[in-house]
Amino acid sequence: MSSPLPAAATGLRSAAAPSSPEPPRATSGVTSAVTPGATSGATPGATPAPTPRDGDERAPRGPVPGDALLRGATAAEYARVTKGVVDDIAARVAAVTQPFAGVGRAELGERTDAVDLDGPGIGTTEALRETAALYADNAVWFHHPAYAAHLNCPVALPAVAAEAMLAAINTSVDTYDQSGAATLMERRLVDWTAARIGFPVGRDERGEAAGADGVFTSGGTQSNLQAMFLARQRALEDLRGTERAVAQSRLRVLATSASHFSVAKSALLLGLSEDAVIAVGVDDEGRMDPDALGRALTDVVRAGDIAMAVVATGGTTDRGCIDPIRAIADLADATGAWLHVDAAYGCGLLVSPTRRGKLAGIERARSVTVDYHKSFFQPVSSSALIVREAADMARGSWHADYLNPATEDHEPGGEPNPDPNQVDKSLQTTRRFDALKLWVTLRALGADGVGQLVDAMCDLAQAVHADLAGDPELKLVAPTDLSTVLFRYEPDGLAPERADALVPQVRRVLFDSGRALVAKTVVDGRPCLKLTLLNPDMTLGDVRAVLDLVRSAAHGLLAGEELVTPDVPPCRDTHPRLVRDGVRPDAPPAAGPGAGPAAGRNEGSA
Ligand SMILES: *Cc1c(COP(=O)(O)O)cnc(C)c1O
């Protein structure tokens, strides 16, 4: 348990077959899978420039990538190049031995800056090879069983394949005449999600949403911004000029301090006053206290202000705690405030076979944020804002003659535009068909299949909590409803301030080594380490291996190995190891953690 970092690292299960100790070199997949010069298109040197036609001012001069664009004539080249990328990534995923290579930022920065972005093209094959050596070699791998830092999930295979489909076709789901079936498929998924939430779902004779509505977004941040935008539009409905400006300055948003920062940022973006967001009190476990909300709402009304929105969080980013939505809904309804439930993290519970009840009351929200790229195993980006009443969605609609006129004949009062144009509902205009990934995933795995994966990650978190109860060194900080683990290295006798200082140091040591990635945060004013377990393939053994690395790093730091000294920058670019200069501690701290003169030596560096 107290072995130095490199030895403890052997406890990690590798994603690769144990018999393949060597990770593939950066270039292997691309170069082996792609036959250079197989067609004329990829390499400028080998490509005859298109013959300029007489009088064609735009005819290219000099060597150009002749067949650079995806079209009928380059379809075979597209298949060859893309297959090369897929083969390369497949080889890498199979062989990854740690979540991060541990290369220093200075070196990465130099290599990034050294690429000549103004120079002549080097051809697709070479560009992909060079790029894989920079990007893929130094990527952070979310599927690795020692990645447990942020809210990133390993991605569902059918979704990654769907990503290739939508990227090549490049649909934009802003208007129906740019998307066809894609728009209708996105709408089906909005309905599907709304039904899972428990919103009424229906369509009118024109096929428009009659019950719930919604739209895919780039992420929870955008979903929350749009929810606050719609809530503000409602609160200021029919107000103009000074009256509107005065009312806007009185709008208040009630949320807890554990709500996602995008709520407060949205208030800023929407021009609310600087004290618009009121931090509602929480219970011991960090969930919104309905009594505190009741008092806060009373205060808002007494002050002559307007409770624009109450934001409940369906799984806080740090603790994974779910606010008591039903009780909050009662209070929001009583004051007429817009209830937004931010379920960016907890939305996976919508398909959980055993834990759906934790989101009870979510159907009483006026709007809900769901992040499929957090707990539906979707590639970034995939998120949605779902509203209970379609009319709310229209509060943000905007019409442009050239794109989505309100009426077919452009005349006020004319026949409504018959086309289903998603841009009417979105903050974005040109927009990816991210919904396709979720569509294929649901068809491939079934919603229950996704739900089982969600349960697996929650089960694992529970097992880790049980495992750590009574641990002599690692102390659990807070419980969770979802899949986070908050803890500190704090054996008996270690000064709390020393334990505070260890938190960022341990995280950085692990990151620099690349062997395990954990996060850090602050809970109740004290720093702590954080695991976010979103990988259903991870086992308790995998998590124990990560925790062993945490202990090893802490032991090393307490034994006096300097993590940061004034002359060594925090991101070391040479030797990303806890132990510099090849010297390893032979033994754990002699007199126990926190004891002895070594214990305080890193104090200044946190
Ligand atoms: C992650 C998160 C967000 C932000 O979502 P992004 O997709 O990262 O923009 C919002 N709310 C909560 C509760 C989150 O956990």
Distance 387 CA to ligand 1 centre (A): 17
Tens of pLDDT, residue by residue over 185-206, are: 999 999 999 999 999 999 998 8
Q: How far is CA 61 from the centre of its chain?
A: 44
* 563 pLDDT tier (thresholds 50, 70, 90): low
Please list the alpha-helical segments (H only) found in 200-305.
220-235, 241-249, 261-269, 290-302
Q: At residue 22, does pLDDT exceed 60?
A: no
Distance 222 CA to ligand 1 centre (A): 9
Tens of pLDDT, residue by residue over 423-465, are: 999 999 999 999 999 999 999 999 999 999 999 999 999 999 9
Distance 458 CA to ligand 1 centre (A): 18
| Residue nearest (by alpha carbon) to ligand 1 atom 7 | 219
DSSP 405-472: -SBTTS-TTSPBP-S--GGGT-S-SS---THHHHHHHHHHHHHHHHHHHHHHHHHHHHHHHHHHTT-S
Distance 294 CA to ligand 1 centre (A): 26
The DSSP H or E segment spanning 71 is none
User: Positive or negative, the Cα torsion across 334, 340, 341, 342?
Assistant: negative
The predicted pLDDT at position 561 comes to: 73
Ligand 1 pocket by C-beta < 6 Å: which residues?
151, 219-221, 224, 260, 262, 313, 317, 342, 344-345, 371, 383
Mean pLDDT (the chain) is 85
Mutual angle of helices 75-95 and 124-134, in 10-degree steps: 20
| Residue nearest (by alpha carbon) to ligand 1 atom 4 | 220
List, in sequence order, every residue forming a beta bridge with 519; answer none if it has no partner.
530
Q: Is the peptide bond before 605 cis (omega within 30 degrees of 0)?
A: no
Tens of pLDDT, residue by residue over 288-344, are: 999 999 999 999 999 999 999 999 999 999 999 999 999 999 999 999 999 999 999
Quote the pTM value. 0.84
User: For residues 486 and 503, is the Cβ–Cβ distance under 8 A?
Assistant: no
Tens of pLDDT, residue by residue over 256-291, are: 999 999 999 999 999 999 999 999 999 999 999 999
The predicted pLDDT at position 430 comes to: 97
Residue to probe by mutation, ligand 1, list 266, 345, 382, most atoms within 8 Å of CB: 345
Distance 23 CA to ligand 1 centre (A): 33
Over residues 162-181, mean pLDDT: 96
- Topology annotation, domain 184-393: Aspartate Aminotransferase; domain 2 (3.40.640)
Q: At residue 174, does pLDDT exceed 50?
A: yes
The predicted pLDDT at position 416 comes to: 87
The predicted pLDDT at position 418 comes to: 87
Vertex 224: Cα angle to 290 and 323 (nearest 5): 25
Give, in order, the Cα–Cα distances in Å from 596 to each of 88, 366, 590, 600: 51, 58, 8, 8
Distance 369 CA to ligand 1 centre (A): 9
151 CA: nearest ligand 1 atom = 1
User: For residues 114 and 78, is the Cβ–Cβ distance under 8 A?
Assistant: no
Give, in order, the Cα–Cα distances in Å from 577 to each of 4, 243, 498, 558, 605: 11, 61, 21, 15, 17
User: For residues 484 and 325, is the Cβ–Cβ distance under 8 A?
Assistant: no
Distance 482 CA to ligand 1 centre (A): 14
262 CA: nearest ligand 1 atom = 10
Q: At residue 393, does pLDDT exceed 70?
A: yes
Q: At residue 401, does pLDDT exceed 70?
A: yes
